[in-house]
Amino acid sequence: MDRRRFELQMRAILVMYRIEGRARNRETMDRFRVRAHQLLDDTPGPEAQGLDIQLPSRRLGTKVVELHNAGKHYGDQTVVAGVDLKLKPGDRIGVVGPNGAGKTTLLRLIAGTLEPDTGKVVIGDTVHLGWYGQEPRPLPPQQRVLDAVQDVVLQTRLLTGRTASAGELLDQFLFPPAGQKAWVSELSGGERRRLELLLVLAEAPNVLLLDEPTNDLDLDTLEVLEAYLDTWPGVLAVASHDRFFLDRVCDDLFAVEPGGVVRHHPGGWTSWREVLSQQRSAIPADAGGPGSEWQQEKRQRRARKLTDSERRELSRLERALPKLEQQRDELTRSLQSGGDYEQVKGVGERLTAVIDEIDAVETRWLELSEIRERA
């Protein structure tokens, strides 16, 4: 089984079993079962079905978006703090962190749709932003699909040099003539999200902000979007839990941590996880010396100390993580070895549960270890 096919299988499983706060209805389960069978049977992908993205982007100057000590809080809660970030032409960054950590807030600060409470955000004159977020794009329910696209663009020049009309763009996005005449209210959830993606890309943005783009896009559309972004010349910022998507399209990662700290991690999702693993095992070499710099800094800081129960919890977490990672690796090897649908589904369920537990344990470990290091 090649790596790409394995990743597609894993994504199908994660789409089914890592639904965060959304309903798991029977239609979703049926679609998953059909798609999983297609993946296991090597069914032709989106290129065979005709989905194509050939939309251009606008020229981008040297100044893109700069955040200078930017911060945002809601009431007493600090969501992000002291962010210094300079996006340059060609940058492709991912934003990661636990649910509710502030990933969307950081993207909205970059987009300029949210004013910082501290610091400032500067957006370049040539920037044309495209936003594809978790919230549905407002569209009149009784508007025709074709009219929705024509409100954005009547025709555009594709990457191939050919000029395409709004109807031809819809055809490329798998909306046949009959579907183009449908009301927006008649679209399925997947069709609606595919239409929204077309509307964003049809505006030819040169800075594209994607907030959890893999949540609702079908796998075929997602695979074509990845291929399109491989050669897309604009600046990209993505907030996502999808490790495959982040590794595929992003070069750098910014992690939003408890307390609103935003840390830069060069490389993709895999590199970030490797850094976390290394941090868990790292202990200051001179931690025991009473006159060491580490001890002097420790005495100077006024951060709270871990309670006895938190120290015991941290110790349990550090013992639990290697065991969980061993389970993950064993289940991954089992999944890679293949099998029938029910076997793959069962292993996928267990693997997803272990991955979720690792994410939760690592997030809590990070929170407690920061308190320990500052005490």
pLDDT tens, residue by residue, 3-49:
445 555 555 555 444 433 333 333 333 344 444 444 444 444 444 35
Q: Indicate if the alpha-carbon torsion angle 21, 95, 31, 197 is positive or negative.
A: positive
Query: Of 34-38, 66-70, 228-232, 285-289, where does the model show the most confidence?
Result: 66-70
Which two tokens mark 237? 């910022």
End-to-end CA distance of the chain: 49
Which of 298, 302, 306 is CA-nearest to residue 365?
A: 306
Q: How confident is the model at residue 375, as a pLDDT?
A: 58
pLDDT at 263 over 70: yes
Higher pLDDT, 269 or 375: 269
Dihedral (C-alpha) 341, 342, 343, 344: value to the nearest 10 degrees? Answer: 50
Query: Of 18-27, 179-188, 222-231, 275-284, where does the model show the most confidence?
Result: 179-188
Query: Of 49-53, 151-155, 366-370, where does the model show the most confidence?
Result: 151-155
Compute the distance between CA of residue 19 and CA of residue 17 in angstroms, rounded to an integer: 6
Q: What is the pTM of this model?
A: 0.66
